[in-house]
Amino acid sequence: MRALVLTLAASTSLIAVPIAAPAADAPLLIPRYSEETKTSGINSIYAGDWQYMVGGGVATFDCDGNGYADMFLAGGEAPAKFYRNTSKHAGPLTFKAETSGLELESVTGAYPLDIDSDGNVDLVLLRVGENVVMRGLGGCRFKRANEDWGFDGGDAWSTALAATWEHGSDWPTIAIGNYIDRREEMFPWGSCTENWLHRPVADQGQRRFAPPIALKPSFCPLSMLFTDWNRSGTPSLRVSNDREYYKGGQEQLWHVEPGKEPALYTPQEGWKNLRIWGMGIAGYDLNLDGYPEYFLTSMADNKLQTLAKPVEGGKSEPGYSDVAFAKGITAHRPYAGGDVRPSTAWHAQFEDVNNDGRADLFVAKGNVADMPDFAAKDPDNLLLQKPDGKFEEAGDKAGVENYATARGAALADFNLDGLLDLVVVNRWETAKVWRNTTEKAGNWIEIQLKQDVTNRDAIGSWLELRRGDTILRREITVGGGHVSGQLGWRHFGIGEAEGADLRVIWPDGRASDWQPVAGNGFYILERDKPVKTWRPG
């Protein structure tokens, strides 16, 4: 029995106004981004031919303990690169390439997480070939740990990852999605290879991975996410699959419960057949009902799914309504550049880029590779959420009208000024970085969660920010997007509010007390301790 049974309906029934409560007809604050690629020190190309047509991820994490997010960029057939963040507080974005041990070839993407809970961030590198777990040694040095941790990297074309700490476990469970059989030339369609679930060994004292089990059937995923979609307290595994290559496949949702074999949600349980070119997952509670919406990227169409019939106590059926069209967030065609052909969407991420208290959406776009049916000039999207919950395109006005062939991306506050900056990985040309230079943006709060002993970054928590009747919620996850992961500060915009109340529902279901925090500050919330203020050096 979980320590806390959430009463979501009670809290959401009162929610009628966003946290900043702007007037419904107030003009949207268009954020301003300045591209600083050339001066940033970033120069990393996601290179390679057919085997790298998908992938191209970025990982952001703090590996030197200064609070600033460092960066790892997949290089495809070229060696990956690590960049230490040398930016100054509120200053230009600067990075320095360093040898870290992460400079492997054939990397498609990466996700940071502290696997061994030693306080140093580790990375899982997804590759064409053997996947590798890299143990963080501190000081941004990393060392291969497959053998030490019993991690079987296999030999596949890996394109998705999600991680969680199952209840009672002191070691993470990692799901890895694998794409098609790369050795099949003439008839690769229908050759999806098996996805893997790397669970801890049964003996809790060993702290290592058991041999992976196959998640069958496998349908060529390009994104996976452990998410507590029904607020049962136990995350399920959401898998977004590329219909280009599967036969008989569809989107998937897996029960992953401690001590049990994973099992697919079935039509009898309410799961509905959906078949898309699934490429990326972004989750966020947009309608403030306590349950995450999911944006699923695809080609010529993107989905925004909202739980059709939420039921308290984790009893909801996994039936979703597609509200992308109603919300103006289909992002199915370039909004600028003159190319009218359909778009190809990859990484997606909800964040509040103008600090108005509403989550916005960034979508990386780019043709697979010379597909004439799809736009060649396919600018990335920056869709701003309006007070009525609909979205408005602002990529060009904001200055992130990127026409490169984008894949992975990350919105992160690289210079710790409370405004979310942007890095986008591009195929065949260097990754690009933009500094968020928005003037008169709203107030903000950034938070890090900490636990002792295990799962130190509290993956699986729900972070809540309350002001009046409005509660903003973020699920703390590892996974999703397009082969791009982040570990670090969790950002909220709060508009004109001067502060808010903060609490966390920890992975075991226990809720902290509400604690007041002032706007425009960084906070570290450690379990069973008062919230601590943190300031960038």
- Given the rule CB under 8 A, which residues bind another protein? 50, 53, 185-190, 243-245, 247-248, 275, 299-301, 322, 324-326, 330, 332-333, 340-342, 368-374
User: Whose CA is closest to 162, among 81, 254, 245, 250?
Assistant: 254
* Cβ neighbourhood burial of 444 (10 Å; 0-12, 13-18, 19+): buried
Give the residue with the Cβ less far from another protein, 123 or 239: 239
φ, ψ dihedrals at 403, nearest 5°: -100, 5
Can you tell me whether residue 398 is helix, strand or coil? helix
Residue 139 Cβ vs another protein, minimum distance, rounded to whole Å? 41
Residue 77 Cβ vs another protein, minimum distance, rounded to whole Å? 15
Q: Which distant-in-sequence residues (6+ apart) come within 8 Å of 1 by Cβ?
A: none
How many whole angstroms separate alpha carbon 31 and alpha carbon 28? 9
**Cα-based distances in Å from 493 to 267, 418, 465:** 38, 9, 10
How many whole angstroms separate alpha carbon 227 and alpha carbon 122? 21
Residue 305 Cβ vs another protein, minimum distance, rounded to whole Å? 11
Residue 49 Cβ vs another protein, minimum distance, rounded to whole Å? 8
Q: Render 135-191 in DSSP notation, one character per residue.
A: EEEETTEEEE-TTTTT----SEEEEEEEEE--TT-SS-EEEEEE-B-TT--S--TT-
Give the residue with the Cβ less far from another protein, 374 or 444: 374
Give the residue with the Cβ less far from another protein, 243 or 456: 243
φ, ψ dihedrals at 462, nearest 5°: -120, 125
Residue 28 Cβ vs another protein, minimum distance, rounded to whole Å? 21
Give the residue with the Cβ less far from another protein, 376 or 511: 376
User: Whose CA is closest to 220, among 290, 172, 160, 308?
Assistant: 160
Give the residue with the Cβ less far from another protein, 187 or 205: 187
How many whole angstroms separate alpha carbon 516 and alpha carbon 214? 45
How many whole angstroms separate alpha carbon 349 and alpha carbon 412? 11
Residue 371 Cβ vs another protein, minimum distance, rounded to whole Å? 5
Three-state SS string over 45-74 comes to: EEECCHHHCCCCCEEEECCCCCCCCEEEEC
Residue 188 Cβ vs another protein, minimum distance, rounded to whole Å? 6
Q: Which distant-in-sequence residues (6+ apart) come within 8 Å of 154 by Cβ?
A: 130, 131, 178, 196, 212
Residue 179 Cβ vs another protein, minimum distance, rounded to whole Å? 11
Give the residue with the Cβ less far from another protein, 25 or 185: 185
Give the residue with the Cβ less far from another protein, 96 or 247: 247
Residue 251 Cβ vs another protein, minimum distance, rounded to whole Å? 13
Residue 86 Cβ vs another protein, minimum distance, rounded to whole Å? 38
Give the residue with the Cβ less far from another protein, 276 or 359: 276
Residue 265 Cβ vs another protein, minimum distance, rounded to whole Å? 18
**Cα-based distances in Å from 126 to 105, 123, 345, 404:** 10, 10, 20, 23
Query: Tokens 């903060």 appear where?
Result: 502
What is the C-alpha radius of gyration for the chain, rounded to an integer number of angstroms? 21
Report the amino acid identity of residue 267.
P
237 forms bridges with which residues in the sheet?
A: 226, 254
Residue 259 Cβ vs another protein, minimum distance, rounded to whole Å? 30
Give the residue with the Cβ less far from another protein, 102 or 331: 331
**Cα-based distances in Å from 414 to 60, 121, 145, 152, 536:** 9, 17, 28, 33, 11
Give the residue with the Cβ less far from another protein, 248 or 259: 248
How many whole angstroms separate alpha carbon 337 and alpha carbon 253? 37
Q: Which distant-in-sequence residues (6+ apart) come within 8 Å of 488 by Cβ?
A: 60, 61, 62, 69, 412, 448
Residue 50 Cβ vs another protein, minimum distance, rounded to whole Å? 6
Q: In this structure, are residues 388 and 449 in contact, taking their beta carbons and an 8 Å threshold?
A: no
Task: Pull the structure tokens for residue 471.
Answer: 């509660």
Give the residue with the Cβ less far from another protein, 98 or 244: 244
Give the residue with the Cβ less far from another protein, 214 or 308: 308
Give the residue with the Cβ less far from another protein, 244 or 396: 244
